[in-house]
């Protein structure tokens, strides 16, 4: 295993990249050879998955913004983008149109290596070709149709000879957890062995029909893809709003819990009864009379000031007459 490949796998584990992001990083590495067509075909199939599509395109835009010394990242990202526009989801071309300025800036890409060779010329030329393709709708449709037919023909030949599983996209597990996958640990050797095993099983059980079913399940337009995305979001929201499942407790456990609660209740100290006043009836009558007398004395002073102002003027008027 080369040092660059080992370093890339370590970064994959440290940054916890998803399977889709790892494939894009592998296809756009700094290794001095082009991205394998089989790997680009896998990435193109992943773009039909709404989750993997976001991860694939995010990593491609990140590669396109790399510095000059990583010119291979930029050139291979353009090569992969050209392949995805022709054989991947239609959302790839749509997003490229929305971010065409990023591709246009690469027409002025400059980098000269230590030997004085202009390594930016390949990037500039590829960016010009890609921008021209994006601006020509009719040419893009023709090249996309031709590329898809070629891919289906190659996939059918591989399925017929038992070398592959046709156009059946690989299952996508989504973003990885903290545990690295076997592919990240052991590289392409484990991936190829797993694919060959699955290819053998699929070839022995009608691979053409499975490939045809998956082809029919793919969205044919951007509207269908948008609908799939909305359905996925709705299902995720519905799953998160489900109440927690009830705890399954057997009868014996319930009986033990009831007995323990009853024992705790019995061990609690009893509250003391209310203290009754030990008084005879005569004493109670005296207290009631004294309270009544106090209330009467409080009311009388309030009545007298109201009566006096009325009586005095009346007496004075009678004396004057």
Q: Are 43 and 23 in contact (CB under 8 A)?
A: yes
pLDDT at 185 over 70: no
Burial letters 150-184, b for 16+ CB under 10 A, else e: ebeebbbebbeeeebbbbbbbeeeeebeeebbebb
Query: Could you tell me the pLDDT band of residue 183, with boundaries at 50, 70 and 90?
Result: very low
Least confident range from 141-145, 228-232, 258-262: namely 228-232
CA–CA separation, 151 and 38 (whole Å): 10
Fold of 3-224: 1.25.40
**What is the pLDDT, as a whole number, of residue 179?**
40
Pick 141 or 176 by higher pLDDT. Answer: 141
Residues 35-55, mean pLDDT to the nearest whole number: 94
pLDDT at 70 over 70: yes
- The residue whose two tokens read 């407790």 is 249
pLDDT at 199 over 50: no
Pick 162 or 205 by higher pLDDT. Answer: 162
Query: Could you tell me the pLDDT band of residue 229, with boundaries at 50, 70 and 90?
Result: low
pTM, whole model, 2 decimals? 0.53
- Pick the most confident of 105-109, 238-242, 244-248, 257-261: 105-109
- In DSSP terms, 286 is beta-bridged to none
How many C-beta neighbours within 10 Å does residue 233 have? 11
Pick 5 or 113 by higher pLDDT. Answer: 113
pLDDT at 14 over 80: yes
**What is the pLDDT, as a whole number, of residue 47?**
96
**What is the pLDDT, as a whole number, of residue 9?**
87
CA–CA separation, 200 and 241 (whole Å): 41
pLDDT at 196 over 50: no
* Token pair of 182 as six digits: 């076997």
CA–CA separation, 141 and 87 (whole Å): 11
pLDDT at 111 over 80: yes
**What is the pLDDT, as a whole number, of residue 156?**
75
- Pick the most confident of 135-139, 228-232, 245-249: 135-139
**What is the pLDDT, as a whole number, of residue 189?**
46
Q: How distant, in Å, are the alpha carbons of 50, 98, 103, 137 from that of 94?
A: 14, 6, 14, 11
Query: Could you tell me the pLDDT band of residue 200, with boundaries at 50, 70 and 90?
Result: very low
Residues 288-300, mean pLDDT to the nearest whole number: 70
Pick 118 or 288 by higher pLDDT. Answer: 118
CA–CA separation, 154 and 131 (whole Å): 28
Residues 56-72, mean pLDDT to the nearest whole number: 93
**What is the pLDDT, as a whole number, of residue 62?**
94
Mean pLDDT across the chain, nearest whole number? Answer: 74
């Amino acid at each position: 295993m080369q040092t660059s490949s080992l370093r890339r796998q370590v970064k994959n584990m440290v940054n916890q990249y998803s399977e889709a992001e790892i494939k894009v990083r592998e296809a756009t590495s700094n290794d001095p050879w082009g991205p394998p067509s089989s790997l680009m075909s896998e990435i193109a199939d992943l773009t039909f998955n709404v989750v993997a599509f976001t991860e694939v395109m995010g990593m491609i835009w990140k590669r396109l913004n790399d510095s000059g010394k990583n010119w291979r990242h930029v050139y291979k990202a353009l090569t992969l983008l050209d392949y995805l526009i022709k054989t991947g989801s239609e959302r790839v071309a749509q997003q490229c149109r929305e971010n065409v300025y990023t591709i246009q800036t690469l027409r002025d890409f400059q980098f000269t290596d230590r030997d004085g060779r202009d390594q930016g010329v390949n990037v500039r030329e590829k960016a010009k070709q890609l921008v021209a393709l994006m601006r020509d709708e009719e040419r893009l449709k023709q090249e996309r149709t031709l590329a898809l037919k070629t891919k289906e023909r190659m996939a059918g030949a591989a399925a017929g000879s038992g070398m592959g599983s046709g156009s059946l996209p690989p299952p996508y597990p989504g973003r990885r957890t903290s545990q690295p996958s076997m592919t990240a640990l052991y590289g392409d050797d484990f991936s190829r062995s797993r694919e060959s095993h699955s290819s053998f099983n699929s070839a022995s059980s009608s691979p053409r029909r499975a490939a045809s079913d998956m082809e029919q399940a793919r969205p044919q337009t951007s509207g269908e893809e948008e609908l799939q995305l909305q359905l996925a979001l709705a299902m995720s929201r519905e799953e998160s709003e489900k109440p927690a499942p009830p705890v399954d407790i057997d009868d014996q456990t319930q009986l033990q819990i009831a007995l323990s609660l009853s024992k705790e209740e019995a061990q609690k100290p009893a509250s003391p009864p209310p203290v009754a006043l030990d008084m005879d009836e005569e004493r109670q009558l005296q207290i009631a009379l004294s309270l009544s007398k106090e209330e009467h004395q409080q009311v009388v002073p309030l009545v007298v000031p109201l009566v006096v102002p009325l009586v005095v003027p009346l007496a004075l008027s009678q004396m004057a007459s």
